Amino acid sequence: MFTITIIGFVRHGVTAWNKEGRAQGSTDVPLDDEGIEMAHGVAQRLSGEQWDVIYTSPLIRAAKTAEIIADSMPDIRLLSDNRLRESGGGLVEGLTEMERVKKWGHSWRQLELGFEPQEEIISRGLNFIEEIKELHPDKRILVVSHGGFIGRLIKELVPYKDLAMDLENTSVTIIKLQEDRNLCELFNCTKHLQRIK
């Protein structure tokens, strides 16, 4: 008998570094006031839906977003998992695109700057997904994480769909994990932010 686990990916609320275009990676940057407001918006939206457990990246911008969501669902467990952290940005963390170009030239992406290897990011992401499928068959799981990490993982889970990598802050993406092929039921949805604006 096949089980289906549904994963709702939520990107954290906005930070000052997001607005400045600074690479965050593993740097622990907090939400700004707007980011907290956005987290309350997505929490209000998700509280009207059925979810069974929340997993979050330990980085504060994701953990705070997850905490606000969990507060709107009194009976839900909130668990932190280091595999959900953002991909490591090495020496570019804290720098804007302009600062990177000034420091290393336009081809800075080709340099060895200490980025976490793509295969390691994918490996820890898929490892987490496999464990979730075993632990929570037929359940609906919220995963609060980061744009770069979620974007890469979705491309692995739904390779046949041409989905953009750039996810909006507090966007909701829902993937149904199935035996034959996974289904993306919702992608990068921010309808809850319309109320805030």
Judge whether 26 and 85 are in contact, CB under 8 Å: yes
Tokens of 32: 């700004």
Total residues found in the chain within this entry: 197
Tokens of 58: 């330990």
Taking the C-alpha atoms of residue 41 and residue 14, their distance in angstroms, rounded to an integer, is 12
Write the CA distances from 68 to 25, 52, 61, 75, integer angstroms. 22, 16, 11, 13
Among the listed residues 12, 40, 146, 192, the single catalytic one is: 12
Tokens of 150: 């979620």
Judge whether 128 and 157 are in contact, CB under 8 Å: no
Among the listed residues 49, 67, 86, 134, the single catalytic one is: 86
Our answer to whether residue 106 is catalytic in this structure is no
Residue 27 zone, left/alpha/beta (φ > 0; ψ -120 to 50; rest): beta
Tokens of 18: 């997001």
Closest listed residue to residue 27, CA positions, set 17, 19, 36: 17
Our answer to whether residue 49 is catalytic in this structure is no
Judge whether 143 and 171 are in contact, CB under 8 Å: no
Instruction: Kindly list the catalytic residues.
Output: 12, 86
